Chains A and B, each alone.
Chain A
Amino acid sequence: MNKLLLNRNQTQRLGFALLTVMAAITVLPIILVVFYVISQGGAAISWEFLSGFPRDGMRQGGILPALVGTLALTVGTAIFSVPLGVAAAVYLAEYAPENGLTRLIRIAIINLAGIPSVVYGLFGLGLFVLFLKFGTSILSASLTLSIMTLPVIISTAEEALRAVPQAFRTVSISLGATRWQTIRRIVLPEALPGILTGIILGLERAAGETAPILFTGAAFFLPRLPNSPFDATMALPYHLFVISTQVPEMPFQIQYGTALVLIVFVLGMNLIATIIRSQARARRQW
């Protein structure tokens, strides 16, 4: 009677086709961006570009100080945010009772993740640069980036911890282990891939952000490498912003070359996360 309607098989095929197209649409821009940046900036990449200092008002030369600066900021952010974030996640997932306070903490974390990054920048300026007198420095910028990164690390790590089967904990306790032994020997190792993924995703965002470091640690131009945490530093995203908007007659190639390095840096971290995850999945024992 309803010949016009599709049968189940056809519906299914149509559904798959639609989903495939939509997936392609979401991936397309990413591929386009990467290819465009490579095509425009690929030619700029050379050893001199990576290992040299900017010259001629940044129109010539390399990006070494910015590259090193971003590396330093990423490491600095990791130093503060990883131990704190993981500890907070362990507390929330394993120890905290379900009460008003922990609900409040969770809401705060979720909201923290939604705050625009420039607000973190202003906060960092007020707290770290001015009040604590760390100055415009790698330290201040790393701390600011850490605050921005913490919610990501905490919530992904908490999720990873909660995904570890409850039965492991019960069995471990029944064998005379303490709660902490259970966490250290079973829960944390099991959750590690998920935790690492969260860490890398958080740090990746930190590495690519401009606004939080703008007032707290980024230097417009610094013809040397930073030599202490109290130094200001150049950083890739801010450098890219500067040479794209603030420098007249800037060669196109250098802009795109810088963008390419930044993308490779961030995607490289992503790749590491993916490798860790897939290796852990292969080793998974339950």
Chain B
Amino acid sequence: MTEKIQIEHLTLQYADGAESLRDISLNVRENAITVLFGPAGGGKSSLLRCLNRLNDLADVKTVSGKILLDGENILDPQTDVIALRRKVGMVFARPVVLPFSIYGNLTYGLEVMGEKRKLRLDEAVERSLRQAALWDEVKERLDDPAIALSGGQQQRLCLARALALEPEVILLDEPTSGLDPISTGKVEASLQELKKNYTILLAPHSVQQAARVADYAAFFLQGELVEFGEGKTLFTTPRQKRTEDYVTGRFG
């Protein structure tokens, strides 16, 4: 397995606060699920938003260090962020469906990049819905407003929408925080299937989820990367006291 993303000495500071990420160095493997976990305010979301440069929209004061994606530093001002965001898809905590049909949600990303061929769009819709385990539930009503779907279906639609662009990396920020256990299970199952072809970074909504899905896990505490390692070892025999306290539920 190769390293898809290399984060080197990443430090991030928002305009109004202290450093939200402090000197983070971390390698993300291809075809694996890397989990970023830890208590609130640890910097998990901030790190994810660096990876597709969505933080460009926020009030960031300074970013330093490097994030190499396939060897290219994406923090470089010359980076084509549009192309980057197609390569690095994102799913957010609250499912946000766009005010279109199910079909329209899935084709949006392709349409803004100029894809007009109906055949290609149809293909992408079916493929991405199958990948997100939603095809059977919605194939009869692709033209219905997406908002009519249940919360769990909406979140899988959001996953499918990111997949429709055929990204290489998928970022998921607490994608199941608003979902019931069954829907959560479906999303997690999809991720297990997806990791065969994608690099996945996930901020889970609980330690339990982190332990369930992590191939690799990184424990974040107040902007600091405390411990990083294989999921199996990190959750059973953490090296750091602070990690142990957190995973055994002694704080946080």
Residue positions of A touching B, CB distance < 8 A? 165, 167-178, 181, 185-186, 189-190, 284-286
Contact = CB atoms under 8 A, between A and B. Distances in A.
Contacts of B67: none
Interface SS, A side: helix
Interface stretch (B82-90, B119-127, B189-197, B235-243): B82-90
Contacts of B109: 175-177
Contacts of B89: 174-175
A170 B108 CA distance: 13
Given A167-B94, A168-B99, A174 B52 contact: yes
Contact of B85 (A173, A181, A189): A173
B175 to A, nearest CB: 13
A186 B92 CA distance: 18
Nearest to A181: B112
Question: Shortest 10 CB-CB distances between A and B: which pairs?
Answer: A175-B109, A285-B99, A177-B112, A167-B96, A176-B86, A176-B85, A174-B90, A181-B112, A285-B147, A285-B145
Contacts of A181: 112
B113 interface: yes
A285 B98 CA distance: 8
A102 B232 CA distance: 54
Contact of A286 (B57, B92, B99, B108): B99
Given A174-B85, A175-B89, A285-B145, 8 more contacts: A168-B96, A170-B54, A172-B108, A175-B85, A176-B86, A181-B112, A284-B99, A285-B99
Given A176-B112, A176-B165, A285-B147, A171 B99 contact: no
B161 interface: yes
B100 A285 contact: yes
B214 interface: no
Contacts of A171: 92, 96, 98, 158
B57 A170 contact: yes
B57 A168 contact: no
Contacts of B147: 285-286
